[in-house]
C-alpha cells in the first residue's frame, strides 16, 4: 500500500497529529520538528490521500463545471478561464456536459453532488432553472455564467449583451446602413433576448424601423444560422446587412452564402456577436463583438471560491463584463 501519515509519523518519530499539522501548515510546530517531519515526508515519498482528508473535512477542493456541450469553442474558452483560476487556488475541475437538456443537467448535477464537489459553475443549457434549487437544498454554492435562468437566483457572470449588439449595429448605421436583417438565438435564453434588445434599441435610437420580415430566431447552432440565412435570402426583399447573434450562427450563415454565392440576390455583409480565432476568416464579416471569455470563467471561479469560503455579500450578485467591438479593416 501507499505510505500514510502513520508511516511518516513513525519515520520522523512524532505522532500523526504532528504530521498532519505540518501538512496543513499549522502554526505551533517547533521549527526543528517541522523540518524533521518534512524530511520524513521526502524520505518516505509520502503523498496525501485527499479522499481521506475530504472525508474528514468534507471539502474536496473540487469544483463541478456544467456546460451545455463540450465541443463548443465558446464554452471551452470559458472553461479555460475557470480552470486557470481554480488551479491557481489549488482546486480541480470536473467538467460535465448536459447535452443541452434539463434532464441532462439534473443527472449531472446529482452526480456532482455525489462527488461532493465544493461548488458548481453552470452555463445554463436552457432558460429554465427550477431544478437548480436542488443545489440550495444540498447546500452546494453555485455560480451561473453567460446566461441567467428563470426560477433560480445565484451569483451570475454575464456580459453586456445589449450594449454589445447595440454598438455593432450603431457602427454600421453610422457608416450608412439603414436596413438590417437579424439572425437570433432562442429567445428562451437571456443572451438571445438581450442581444435582440440591443439590436432593436440601436435601430430605434437612430430612427430606423425594424423590419419583422427579416428578423429571424433560431437556436445558436450552425444549422440554424444556415437555415435562417436561407430564409432571409429567399424573403421578398433580402437584407444586405445582417446582424447575427452568435459565432455558430455566423458560421452557418457564412456557409449558406458560400454555397449559394452564384445565385444570391445581392452582396451581404455580417455583423456578429462573438469573436473567435476563426471569425477573422469568415468572409462577409464587418464587425464582431468580442466577449472576454476567459475572464468570464475566471470571474465565475473567483466568485464561487469566495462564496465557498464564506465571503461575498449576503444576496446574490451579478457581474456584467464589457464586450469589445472589433472592426475589420
Residues making contact with DNA (CB under 7 A):
1-2, 4-6, 13-21, 23-24, 27-30, 32-34, 46, 48-49, 52-53, 55-58
96 near a second copy, rule: CB under 8 A:
yes
Q: What angle do CA 110, 115, 121 make, to 5 degrees?
A: 70
128 binds, among a second copy, DNA, none (CB under 5 to 8 A by kind): none
Q: Is the dihedral of CA 178, 183, 184, 186 positive or negative?
A: positive
Nearer to a second copy, 17 or 258 (CB): 258
16 binds, among a second copy, DNA, none (CB under 5 to 8 A by kind): DNA
Nearer to a second copy, 208 or 294 (CB): 294
C-alpha cell at 276: 473567435
281 near a second copy, rule: CB under 8 A:
yes
Q: How big is the site for a second copy, counted in residues (CB under 8 A)?
A: 42
Integer Cα distance of 177 and 169 in angstroms: 9
96 binds, among DNA, a second copy, none (CB under 5 to 8 A by kind): a second copy
Distances (CA, A) of 121 to 75, 135, 320: 12, 11, 16
Nearer to a second copy, 96 or 143 (CB): 96
Nearest-CA neighbor of 118 among 147, 98, 89? 89
Integer Cα distance of 44 and 195 in angstroms: 59
Nearest-CA neighbor of 136 among 297, 305, 316, 298? 316
- Are 98 and 68 in contact by the 8 Å Cβ rule? The answer is yes
77 near a second copy, rule: CB under 8 A:
yes
20 binds, among DNA, a second copy, none (CB under 5 to 8 A by kind): DNA
Binding to a second copy in span 247-266, by CB under 8 A: 251, 254-255, 258
| Total Cβ atoms within 10 A of residue 114 | 9
Nearer to a second copy, 79 or 200 (CB): 79
| Total Cβ atoms within 10 A of residue 206 | 13
CB of 46 to a second copy, least distance (A): 11
C-alpha cell at 214: 427579416
Please enumerate in sequence order all residues whose Cβ is within 8 A of that of 302, keeping only pairs 6 or more positions apart, or say none. Answer: 85
281 binds, among a second copy, DNA, none (CB under 5 to 8 A by kind): a second copy
* 300: phi then psi, degrees, rounded to nearest 5: -60, -45
CB of 169 to a second copy, least distance (A): 24
Among 111, 264, 316, 319, binds a second copy (CB under 8 A): 111
**Contacts with a second copy, residue ranges (CB under 8 A):** 47-52, 54-55, 58, 60, 62, 70-73, 76-77, 79-80, 83, 92-97, 111, 113-116, 222, 251, 254-255, 258, 277-278, 280-283
Amino acid at each position: 500500500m501507499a505510505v500514510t501519515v502513520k508511516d511518516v509519523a513513525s519515520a520522523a518519530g512524532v505522532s500523526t497529529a504532528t504530521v498532519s499539522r505540518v501538512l496543513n501548515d499549522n502554526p505551533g510546530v517547533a521549527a526543528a520538528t517541522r523540518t524533521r517531519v518534512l524530511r520524513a515526508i521526502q524520505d518516505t515519498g509520502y503523498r496525501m490521500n485527499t479522499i481521506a482528508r475530504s472525508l474528514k473535512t468534507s471539502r474536496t477542493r473540487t469544483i463541478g463545471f456544467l456546460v451545455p456541450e463540450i465541443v463548443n469553442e465558446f464554452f471551452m474558452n470559458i472553461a479555460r478561464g475557470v480552470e486557470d483560476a481554480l488551479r491557481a487556488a489549488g482546486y480541480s475541475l470536473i467538467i460535465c456536459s448536459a447535452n443541452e437538456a434539463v434532464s441532462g443537467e439534473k443527472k449531472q448535477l446529482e452526480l456532482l453532488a455525489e462527488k461532493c464537489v465544493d461548488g458548481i459553475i453552470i452555463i445554463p443549457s436552457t432558460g429554465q432553472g427550477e431544478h437548480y434549487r436542488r443545489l440550495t437544498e444540498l447546500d452546494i454554492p453555485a455560480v451561473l455564467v453567460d446566461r441567467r435562468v428563470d426560477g433560480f437566483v445565484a451569483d451570475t457572470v454575464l456580459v453586456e449583451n445589449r450594449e454589445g449588439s447595440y454598438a455593432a449595429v450603431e457602427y454600421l448605421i453610422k457608416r450608412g446602413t439603414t436596413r438590417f436583417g437579424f439572425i437570433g438565438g432562442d429567445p428562451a435564453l437571456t443572451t438571445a433576448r438581450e442581444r435582440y434588445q440591443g439590436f432593436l434599441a440601436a435601430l430605434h435610437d437612430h430612427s430606423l424601423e425594424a423590419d419583422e420580415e427579416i428578423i429571424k430566431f433560431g437556436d445558436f447552432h450552425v444549422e440554424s444560422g444556415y437555415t435562417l440565412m436561407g430564409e432571409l435570402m429567399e424573403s421578398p426583399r433580402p437584407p444586405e446587412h445582417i446582424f447575427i447573434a452568435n459565432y455558430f450562427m455566423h458560421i452557418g450563415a457564412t456557409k449558406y452564402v458560400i454555397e449559394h454565392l452564384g445565385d444570391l440576390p445581392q452582396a451581404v455583409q455580417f455583423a456578429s456577436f462573438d469573436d473567435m480565432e476563426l471569425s477573422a476568416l469568415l468572409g462577409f464579416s464587418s464587425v464582431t463583438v468580442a466577449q472576454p471569455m476567459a475572464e468570464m470563467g475566471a470571474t465565475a471561479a473567483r466568485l464561487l471560491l469566495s462564496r465557498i469560503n464564506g465571503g461575498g455579500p449576503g444576496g446574490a450578485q451579478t457581474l456584467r463584463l464589457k464586450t469589445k467591438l472589433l472592426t475589420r479593416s
